[in-house]
Amino acid sequence: MCCVQRHCWLRFRRCCCRDQPPSTASAGGASREGDLGHRRHLLSGIPLGSAAVPFHHLLLQYSYLSQRGHYPYFPDRENQDTLSINTQLQSNPNLHLFAVFDGHGDFGAQCAAFARDRLFDHLAGDPHLLEDPIKSFNSAFLAANSELHDSEIDDTMSGTTAIAVLVGGDTLFVANVGDSRAVAGVWNGEGVVAEDLSSDQTPFRKDEYERVRRCGATVLSVEQVEGFKDPAIQSWGVESAWDPPRLWLPNELEFGLAMTRSVGDSMVESIGAIAVPEVMTVKITPNHLFFVAASDGVFEFLSSQDVVDMVLRYPDPRDACSAIAAESYKLWLDHSSRTDDITIIIVHIKDLCNSDAVATNEASDTSRKALLMVSHKARTDISAFPGSETCHPKGRDFLEL
């Protein structure tokens, strides 16, 4: 529920909400230059790819899944999520890009695909990318946003999030616009913990709330706009998850955006809905086992730690993608008659010396360290995600929902 028009809101609540809770590979085509191996899962058809980072003796093994949401009242609605995996960016074997885009609005799918393609084009063509990845990300996002405004796509009330992870040697550069998310699974000596690689940019964040207010935004939930709740209350808790605070133009409360940054959404750009990414830099250590990039269709009901626990449970990233998507889908339907689109990329970080085994063993394990962790979890009988096995799809059943 990234953006909403007032006249659609009450119909949405009647049709879609039950009890409110208390609380380049691409979707359209793939680019996998330099893969050491690329196979599809024998049952689900989910792809498995790998790419080396030879200078630092690392191997990235990855998989991805993008699932259209279930929209009973809009059966022809297309999947507005998309993704991109571009290995050997700029023909550099140590440079790899993984990105997820979550479109919203009537032309969200077009906005997401446009941003996906233009972001790649700008990064691939930037001669200074290796010198200053943060500056390059900023330039690429702003250029893609400006080009979207000038394109034939109507982005007045449509746009997209973007979460992009650039693997540059032994460093992760994570650029975020919106409320998609990246998270790493990190061994801390006792277990595998979630390390957020991005921070959701919404009015729930005090710094973002204050920034858009300074830009002139009115920040209210839809129920506050409609008069069901006091608009003077400028704090929102977990109970606001289904009706989050949104950015509105002053005295023109027709279109509300539930995030504070996006690519597109030109109508609310003047009140602080900017395309400037927040970029986090993380050094890859031997304790970094994997990272995940996903749309908020995954993180609406699963925490970062939930997702990390599920990735750890399945050594094959294809199985983890299927399980996380299925669990997300189930949780959506537990709370609503619809689901969001669900997109996820999982990237395991391994030692390059294991590359031969990866290329030949269809069910290769994540790493010796990950195996020790799984064994430890089994010995201590700790399950951080109880019941998830029952949601693990078999065959093509889930993909055909």
Between 4 and 383, where is the model more confident? Answer: 4
Angle subtended at Cα 314 by Cα 311 and Cα 319, rounded to the nearest 5 degrees? 95
Tell me: pLDDT of 4 over 80: no
pTM, to two decimals: 0.81
Residue 101 identity: F
Helix 108-124 × helix 133-150 angle, to 10°: 140
Tell me: pLDDT of 225 over 90: no
Q: How many C-beta atoms lie closer than 10 Å to residue 295's C-beta?
A: 30
Average pLDDT over residues 312-325: 95
The predicted pLDDT at position 239 comes to: 58
Taking the CA atoms of 328, 334, 335 and 339 in sequence, report the sign of the dihedral they define: positive
Helix 317-335 × helix 304-313 angle, to 10°: 140
Average pLDDT over residues 33-46: 51
Rounded distance between C-alpha atoms, residue 246 and residue 351, angstroms: 44
39-43, 175-179, 293-297: lowest mean pLDDT where? Answer: 39-43
- Residue-wise pLDDT for 349-393, tens only, equals 999 875 544 443 433 444 444 444 443 333 333 223 223 222 222
- Residue-wise pLDDT for 174-198, tens only, equals 999 999 999 999 999 999 999 999 9
Percent of the chain with pLDDT over 70: 76
Classify the phi-psi angles of 95: left when phi > 0, otherwise alpha if psi is within -120 to 50, otherwise beta: beta
Tell me: pLDDT of 2 over 70: no
Domains and their CATH numbers in the chain: 3-203+274-400 (3.60.40.10)
Q: How many C-beta atoms lie closer than 10 Å to residue 52's C-beta?
A: 22
Rounded distance between C-alpha atoms, residue 246 and residue 151, angstroms: 26
- Residue-wise pLDDT for 329-340, tens only, equals 999 999 889 989
The predicted pLDDT at position 359 comes to: 43
- Residue-wise pLDDT for 76-135, tens only, equals 899 999 999 999 999 999 999 999 999 999 999 999 999 999 999 999 999 999 999 999
The predicted pLDDT at position 117 comes to: 98
Classify the phi-psi angles of 189: left when phi > 0, otherwise alpha if psi is within -120 to 50, otherwise beta: left
Between 378 and 311, where is the model more confident? Answer: 311
